[in-house]
Structure 1
Amino acid sequence: MATPASTLDVTSFIDRNRITPFQLLIAVQCFLIVAIDGFDTAAIGFIAPPIRALWHLSPQDLGPVFGAGLAGLMAGALLFGPIGDRIGRKRLLLGCLLVFGMSSVAAAASPSFGWLIALRFVTGLGLGGAMPNAVTLTSEYCPARLRSFLVTTMFCGFTCGSALGGFAAAALIVNFGWRSVLLVGGVVPLVMALVYVRALPESVRYMVNAHWPAARIAATLRRIDPNANLDGVAFRAADVSHGSGGSHIGRLFAPELRSGTLLLWLTFFMSLLVIYLLQSWLPTLLHTSGASLRTAALVTAMFQVGGTLGAIALGWLMDRLNPCFVLAVAYVLAGVFIATIGHVTGNPWLATISVFWAGVCVSGTQCGANALSAAFYPTDCRVTGVSYANGVGRFGSVLGSLAGGSMLAAGFDMPTLFADVGVPAVVAGFAMAVFGFRMRRAQVAPAPVAVGQWE
């Protein structure tokens, strides 16, 4: 029987050691998983015109193709989150890659528009389950002092995948037709799944929580510190909270987590509403204001550029300052910059600057919110917590995708429209401020390693 002297906390072990190539490789592998989502999101927009021509569809008929993917993402996040806490992060990631890959390959051979819609939904299921697990696995291998920076940098895979998806789709469609885009987008994750069977480790915190053999845990920790003496050691994880038992979903509403869960859900809902509204409608809004289609596209691209740079910068700040208040300030500034866009749509240079900073403050901050959610929940319900925050946020993304058209139809002028779009970002900022004050009142350390312990 292990004595207290022979017990090692794996969380502290990771925190006190320097970052190693082993941990960076995990972040890179998860970066590639998130990049698949970005590739798929961008590629579907490029293949929409040839799909419309093939099946003689109206522009309105294309809506279900986009909506099916979003619905699948939402359902996948809600469905697979608890499974990741039950069977492990690695197993679920491999399963989601297989689901996504096979459904995308099948979609490439769709015999009808109805089949394409159905398979796009299944593709979304795989992606919806994979992303929260990628966030969680990266977070659980990062030392606290670098966690926010590494997780947000990993999440930049989405924007990189989006850029690659645009370029690749354009080349593939010209040379091989639209089906080749879906085929490539399916084969790549299938190959990744085969490689990750050996290359991707299971979360060491999950191993402890699931009572894996000590020898397996020790072998993984030696890849972080080869010189560590782990013979005969019993392992524990300080951030494993068993609460009152019950379902993983029920754990999100335990007394110490309930308020944080609701505030995170509000933040994700408002944040993704704004992001998807701007991504979907900003080119149209700028073109309506007199910009050429080329100018509108270039200005809109700065939203993603700002989001990528913002994620890295905000992650760096979150590791050095109170992460809740960093996100709160950034969201409020996002509301200001979004409102500013409505007053400068006639000036391409000023519009570019405003859109860039809006991307920094809302798209970049959403990456930070993912890092914060992974840090807030304890190991035994972490994937569930991150998945459900993303799943609830997807409701906001669907609403945002629809809201732009409704606002245009209502005849809003540009200053009023963009001011209204900025309001949800400010609401998200206030939610993060309340989150931070409640953590401070509960005397929880402000660093993102903290696990929620609220009254």
Structure 2
Amino acid sequence: MTTPTVDIRQWIDARPMTRYQWGILCLCFCIVTLDGFDAAIMGFIAPAILQEWALSKAAFGPIMAAAMIGLAIGALVSGPWADRIGRRRVLLLSVATFGLFSLLSGLAQTPLQLAALRLLTGLGLGAAMPNCTTLLSEFIPARLRGSLVTLMFMGFGLGSAMGGFVSAWALPHWGWASLLILGGILPILLLPLLWRGLPESVEFMVGKQMLAERIVQALRPMGGQFTPEQRFISQGQATPQSSGGRIAGLFSSPYRRITLSLWGTYFMGLLVIYLLTGWLPTLIKEAGLPIERAAMITALFQLGGLAGILLVGYAMDRTSPRRIIAFAYLAGAGCVFAIGFLAVNSSFLGVLVLLAGFCINGAQTGLNAYAPALYPTAFRATGVSWMLGIGRFGGIAGSLAGGTLLSLGMPMNLVFAVLGVPAILAAFSLMSGPKTARSPVVASLGH
């Protein structure tokens, strides 16, 4: 008798989560936490660097944008490589890269050196996040994808908020360089754990037709009892329409509108997030509050995002993910508009910053959980990483535009009116795209 064929995607979807899968989630959570710490830290230390190096805000904009450029390049390059050589290899290399260059950034002596090192740090950061998303989404049941991928991304908000609280304590004692050095040491310490505990995606191995023995070994910790003679397939393998290449697949007939919709939404979401996290501490400080208080209030944006991430992910698994994400963007825009009409010393400022983070970070993270299910295995990492890579140009625009806005001397309510517009555009961009590709591959993935 012939051995029955096992569909890996169906097999994972039908089983409960195991300790092994929770361990993968924990490791990816740690990577994303360190990513969040590094991504937000420049906003918290910016006032100290401006003062120490006597830089104007406009001159500091390129330093802020350097990491964003690296993030974009890292994401765009890493996705096709992860679809070619595997998610695990790319993840390990990315963590080593951003750890090393963040450490070196703390030793920079000139603005040019700092910008160059932040660019290189961004290469690693840009490769890490999309491949964490892809790897985890391929290891967990589709019914839990929204909740668990967004749970992983709570690490980003936690790391960003941690950056604010650590900055408030470390800046007066150790200076801004200590925070960049810390952001480099932590990933380097994490590498041995990742090497030992982070597996390669089983769906990737099936798609690459690797030896059944390797696939059987990878499934064993999840309760799989198979022999090396077993035949494996995956619903996530590419369809004939999408077989023209990884990047070309993003623009094939079933996926073109999805790709463009995701790019526009992610771009606008990161634009508003980096405008707020990158320049809100400086804005609050210039309004008369001490830098420690400015860092604490800005950290509330990321702290609010932790709760928003959980709620959005929970809702996504129970109703239309698109509508939930779009509504969260619109609610976040309303909170940002409202901030502009408060006095900087108002007790409600922190509440509105918290609520804005709740909505906008929740929506942005929900988009990370939503995207992997829209692409087949053959170019899933490319689809997710290119969404993040193109979106990073929104972060670059936010980093540069923030310095320009503050240099214009615009009134606070007008500044925040401008900041809220990208969140509205993100919602409209998402709703303008189709719900899924018209393809049985995507339909089988639960969205």
Which whole-Å deviations, capped at 9, do the CAs of 1:188-244 have from their partners, x for residues lacking one? 323322332221100111011111111111122121125x44563211110111435
What residue identity is the alignment partner of 1:11? R
Q: What is the total number of aligned residue pairs between the two structures?
A: 446
Which whole-Å deviations, capped at 9, do the CAs of 1:117-176 have from their partners, x for residues lacking one? 222211110111111111111111111111111111111112222233345556666666
Go from structure 1 to structure 2 and tell me whether the alpha carbon gap of 1:296 and 1:394 turns closer, same or farther (over 3 Å shift). same
* Residue aligning to 2:29: 31
| Pair 1:439-2:435 in alignment | yes
* Contact 1:331-1:425 at 8 Å conserved across structures: yes
* Contact 2:5-2:231 at 8 Å conserved across structures: yes
* Residue aligning to 1:225: 223
Which whole-Å deviations, capped at 9, do the CAs of 1:240-296 have from their partners, x for residues lacking one? 114353331111111111000000001001111111112223344456667676655
Task: State the Cα distance separating 1:299 from its structure 2 match.
Answer: 3.6
Task: State the Cα distance separating 1:302 from its structure 2 match.
Answer: 2.3
Specify the SS of the correspondent of 2:243. Answer: coil
**Runs of 5+ unmatched residues, structure 1:** none
Q: Which of 124, 136, 139 matches 1:138? A: 136
* Residue aligning to 2:391: 393
Go from structure 1 to structure 2 and tell me whether the alpha carbon gap of 1:293 and 1:138 turns closer, same or farther (over 3 Å shift). same
* Residue aligning to 1:118: 116
* Contact 1:439-1:446 at 8 Å conserved across structures: no
What residue identity is the alignment partner of 1:37? D
* Contact 1:248-1:384 at 8 Å conserved across structures: yes
CA separation in 1, counterparts of 2:88 and 2:436?
Answer: 34
* Contact 2:236-2:441 at 8 Å conserved across structures: no
CA separation in 1, counterparts of 2:367 and 2:390?
Answer: 13
* Residue aligning to 2:338: 340
* Residue aligning to 1:92: 90
* Contact 1:315-1:368 at 8 Å conserved across structures: yes
* Contact 1:341-1:355 at 8 Å conserved across structures: yes
- Taking structure 2 as the reference length, the TM-score comes to 0.89
| Pair 1:241-2:238 in alignment | yes
Go from structure 1 to structure 2 and tell me whether the alpha carbon gap of 1:15 and 1:441 turns closer, same or farther (over 3 Å shift). closer
Task: State the Cα distance separating 1:377 from its structure 2 match.
Answer: 1.4
* Contact 1:289-1:345 at 8 Å conserved across structures: no
Go from structure 1 to structure 2 and tell me whether the alpha carbon gap of 1:116 and 1:275 turns closer, same or farther (over 3 Å shift). closer
* Residue aligning to 2:400: 402
CA separation in 1, counterparts of 2:47 and 2:287?
Answer: 24
CA separation in 1, counterparts of 2:53 and 2:404?
Answer: 27
**Runs of 5+ unmatched residues, structure 2:** none
* Contact 2:71-2:392 at 8 Å conserved across structures: yes
* Contact 1:376-1:450 at 8 Å conserved across structures: no
Q: Which of 420, 427, 430 matches 1:429? A: 427
* Contact 1:6-1:234 at 8 Å conserved across structures: yes
Q: Which of 13, 27, 46 matches 1:15? A: 13
Task: State the Cα distance separating 1:412 from its structure 2 match.
Answer: 4.5
Q: Which of 143, 160, 167 matches 1:162? A: 160
CA separation in 2, counterparts of 1:389 and 1:175?
Answer: 39
Go from structure 1 to structure 2 and tell me whether the alpha carbon gap of 1:45 and 1:302 turns closer, same or farther (over 3 Å shift). closer
* Contact 2:161-2:299 at 8 Å conserved across structures: no
**Counterparts in 2 of 1:45-124, with a 5 A limit?**
45=43, 60-110=58-108, 112-124=110-122
What residue identity is the alignment partner of 2:74? G
Specify the SS of the correspondent of 1:222. Answer: helix
CA separation in 2, counterparts of 1:53 and 1:193?
Answer: 35
CA separation in 2, counterparts of 1:325 and 1:448?
Answer: 20
CA separation in 2, counterparts of 1:332 and 1:61?
Answer: 32
Specify the SS of the correspondent of 1:262. Answer: helix
* Residue aligning to 1:317: 315
Go from structure 1 to structure 2 and tell me whether the alpha carbon gap of 1:78 and 1:122 turns closer, same or farther (over 3 Å shift). same
Identity of aligned residues (%): 43
* Contact 2:376-2:441 at 8 Å conserved across structures: no
Specify the SS of the correspondent of 2:125. Answer: helix
* Contact 1:323-1:446 at 8 Å conserved across structures: no
Go from structure 1 to structure 2 and tell me whether the alpha carbon gap of 1:220 and 1:80 turns closer, same or farther (over 3 Å shift). same
Specify the SS of the correspondent of 1:349. Answer: coil
Which whole-Å deviations, capped at 9, do the CAs of 1:328-354 have from their partners, x for residues lacking one? 111122222222222334672333333
- Taking structure 1 as the reference length, the TM-score comes to 0.88
Q: Which of 262, 280, 286 matches 2:260? A: 262
Higher mean alpha-carbon deviation, 81-90 vs 103-112, is at: 103-112
Which whole-Å deviations, capped at 9, do the CAs of 1:382-412 have from their partners, x for residues lacking one? 1111111111111111212233344445564
| Pair 1:279-2:248 in alignment | no
Q: Which of 213, 216, 235 matches 1:215? A: 213
Specify the SS of the correspondent of 2:221. Answer: coil
**Counterparts in 2 of 1:316-395, with a 5 A limit?**
316-345=314-343, 348-395=346-393
Task: State the Cα distance separating 1:357 from its structure 2 match.
Answer: 1.9
* Contact 1:17-1:225 at 8 Å conserved across structures: no
Go from structure 1 to structure 2 and tell me whether the alpha carbon gap of 1:271 and 1:292 turns closer, same or farther (over 3 Å shift). same
CA separation in 2, counterparts of 1:171 and 1:291?
Answer: 16
* Contact 1:304-1:359 at 8 Å conserved across structures: yes
Specify the SS of the correspondent of 2:222. Answer: coil
Task: State the Cα distance separating 1:24 from its structure 2 match.
Answer: 1.0
* Contact 1:295-1:348 at 8 Å conserved across structures: no
Higher mean alpha-carbon deviation, 368-377 vs 106-115, is at: 106-115
What residue identity is the alignment partner of 2:192? L
Higher mean alpha-carbon deviation, 60-69 vs 140-149, is at: 60-69
Go from structure 1 to structure 2 and tell me whether the alpha carbon gap of 1:238 and 1:443 turns closer, same or farther (over 3 Å shift). closer
Specify the SS of the correspondent of 2:347. Answer: helix
CA separation in 2, counterparts of 1:280 and 1:259?
Answer: 31
Go from structure 1 to structure 2 and tell me whether the alpha carbon gap of 1:448 and 1:150 turns closer, same or farther (over 3 Å shift). farther
* Residue aligning to 2:249: 251
Task: State the Cα distance separating 1:29 from its structure 2 match.
Answer: 0.5
Go from structure 1 to structure 2 and tell me whether the alpha carbon gap of 1:356 and 1:449 turns closer, same or farther (over 3 Å shift). farther
Which whole-Å deviations, capped at 9, do the CAs of 1:22-77 have from their partners, x for residues lacking one? 11111111111111222223444555566667766555544443222121111111
What residue identity is the alignment partner of 1:449? L
Go from structure 1 to structure 2 and tell me whether the alpha carbon gap of 1:447 and 1:280 turns closer, same or farther (over 3 Å shift). farther
